[in-house]
Structures are given as structure tokens and as C-alpha cells.
Amino acid sequence: MDDLYRAIADPTRRAILDELVERDGQSLFELCGRLTMKHGIGSSRQAISQHLEVLESAGLVIVRREGRYKFHWFNGEPLRAITKRWPTNGLRS
Amino acid sequence: MRINLSSVPVDDQAKALRFYTEMLGFQKKHDIPMGEHRWLTVVSPEDPDGVELALEPDEHPAVKPFKSALVEDGIPFTSFAVRDIAAEHKRLESLGVRFTQPPVDYGTVIAAVLDDTCGNLIMIAQETPKS
């Protein structure tokens, strides 16, 4: 659980998730380009790669190899744990 | 001094010539036998006297790991300019060309990345007028 909160605590990592929700299955190159041009995030490819590792270990990003390419996919499943713990449907009945 | 030549390292010159002419639409400019390989260049039909692109054998042992590392991360080796990227993307996809990145709007440029089938990713980019 701590991994999950740590993963979404960082604004760059949240921007990565935003971009993957907009278009799933991106290469590292595409992600870095989007972060630079759309979010003004000038982090190195190396730094983005490390952010992706944190997201991957929290289960929020899944890395899949397709032949010689490597693509990154969003996985929202771990977020369920948050609303399970703190329900979003108002007061508990 | 001026730039008259660029190059891409290809795993097979004959296959590369087919891809760069039949798919991308360039024209063969030089084809000179050089022992096992050829001095092989293509140019754009839009600029036949312009910059030549050499399709160079990638046989040096350092080249393949370098190319693989770039491809894994989706990084293009070089970039070509197109006027209408949406049309080019559609045309090339219909020819079976694999894109690792569809056209993405970066504000001043719209860029897509394709696989040249010879071990490289290539960017095609359309500049967009500044608004």
C-alpha cells in the first residue's frame, strides 16, 4: 500500500499517468516528448525511466515487450484499494 | 561547409533500398559496388539535388546493440519532414508500415515514429505554423 501512495505523491508521476490515460501503450520516447512539450517537465529520459519503475512497482504501470519495442500501459486496478478503504459514496450507511 | 549527406545503419542494403524507395518514396541516387557492400544513397524526389541519405551496412559489432537500445525505448535514429503527417501516417499504415508512435502534436511540430524494418525507428514530422 505504501508503494501506491508514494507513487502518486509525485507530480511528474501523476503526469505520466495522465498521459497514459490519454493514450495507452507508449514508448519511453513518446512519454518523454509529451511530458516535455505538454507539461513543461524537462527531466532526463533516465529520470523518467526511474519514475516509471516506481509506478511499475506500485502496479500502476505495466511494461509489455512487443518484439523489439517496450511499451508502457496504465493499470488503475491498485487504485481500487483507496476507495475500498475510504468509500467515495458519502457517509457510510 | 555544408551538410550534404546523412546516413542510417541498415541490416540489409537490398531490403533497405526497397523500404526507403517503395514505402517512403525516396529515389536511388548512387549505387556503387564496394566489395561486399555498396555505396548506396537515396534522395527525396522533392529535392533530388539535396541532402543524400546513405543506407550503410550496420556490421560493426557496436552498432547492433546501440540500435536495439534505441528501438527498445522508441527513440528514432533520424527524422524526415512531411507536409501532411496525417495523410502520410494513413498511407504508410495501409502499406503495412509499423508505427511505434502515432502522430503526436507537440505544439510546433506533429511527429510520428515508424519502424524502417532494417533495425531503426524513423521520425516523420510536420511543422505546424505558430499561432
User: pLDDT tens digits for A76-88?
Assistant: 999 999 999 998 8
CB distance from B101 to chain A under 8 Å?
A: yes
Q: Tell me, what's the ipTM?
A: 0.91
B97: its cell numbers: 508500415
Chain B residue with CA closest to A27: the answer is: B74
Rounded to the nearest angstrom, the minimum Cα separation between B2 and chain A is 29
**Residue of B90, B71, B74 whose CA lies nearest to B82:** B90
What is the Cα B41 distance to its own chain's centre? 12
Does residue A38 or residue B112 have the better pLDDT?
B112
User: pLDDT tens digits for A19-75?
Assistant: 999 999 999 999 999 999 889 998 999 999 999 999 999 999 999 999 999 999 999
Banded pLDDT at B26 (limits 50, 70, 90): very high
Measured between beta carbons, which residues in chain A are less than 8 angstroms from residue B72? 68-70
Which class for B19: exposed (0-12), middle (13-18), buried (19 or more C-beta within 10 A)?
buried
In this structure, what CATH number is given to the domain that contains residue B65? 3.10.180.10
What is the Cα A8 distance to its own chain's centre? 8
Considering the domain boundaries, does residue A27 fall inside one? yes
Residue A88: what pLDDT?
84
Q: Which residue has the cell 508514494?
A: A6
Measured between beta carbons, which residues in chain B are less than 8 angstroms from residue A64? none
Banded pLDDT at A2 (limits 50, 70, 90): confident
Rounded to the nearest angstrom, the minimum Cα separation between B73 and chain A is 5
Residue B66: what pLDDT?
98
CB distance from B75 to chain A under 8 Å?
A: yes
Residue B93: what pLDDT?
98
In this structure, what CATH number is given to the domain that contains residue A66? 1.10.10.10
Query: Into how many domains does chain A fold?
Result: 1
Rounded to the nearest angstrom, the minimum Cα separation between A3 and chain B is 25
Considering the domain boundaries, does residue A92 fall inside one? no
Backbone angle region of A32, left / alpha / beta, with phi > 0 → left and psi within -120 to 50 → alpha: alpha
Considering the domain boundaries, does residue A91 fall inside one? no
Considering the domain boundaries, does residue A38 fall inside one? yes
To the nearest whole percent, how much of chain B has pLDDT over 70?
Answer: 98
Residue A50: what pLDDT?
97
| Angle between helices A28-39 and A11-22 in degrees, nearest 10 | 110
For residue A13, pLDDT beyond 60: yes
Considering the domain boundaries, does residue A45 fall inside one? yes
Chain B residue with CA closest to A40: the answer is: B106
Residue A90: what pLDDT?
67
User: pLDDT tens digits for B99-111?
Assistant: 999 999 988 899 9
Work out the average pLDDT over B7-18: 98
User: pLDDT tens digits for B41-86?
Assistant: 999 999 999 999 999 999 999 999 999 999 999 999 999 999 999 9
Residue B106 and residue A68: Cβ atoms within 8 Å? no
Query: Into how many domains does chain B fold?
Result: 1
Please tell me the pTM assigned to this model: 0.92
Structural domain that includes position B46: 5-127
Residue A37 and residue B68: Cβ atoms within 8 Å? no
Rounded to the nearest angstrom, the minimum Cα separation between B102 and chain A is 9
Structural domain that includes position A72: 2-85
Residue A69 and residue B74: Cβ atoms within 8 Å? yes
Chain B residue with CA closest to A33: the answer is: B106
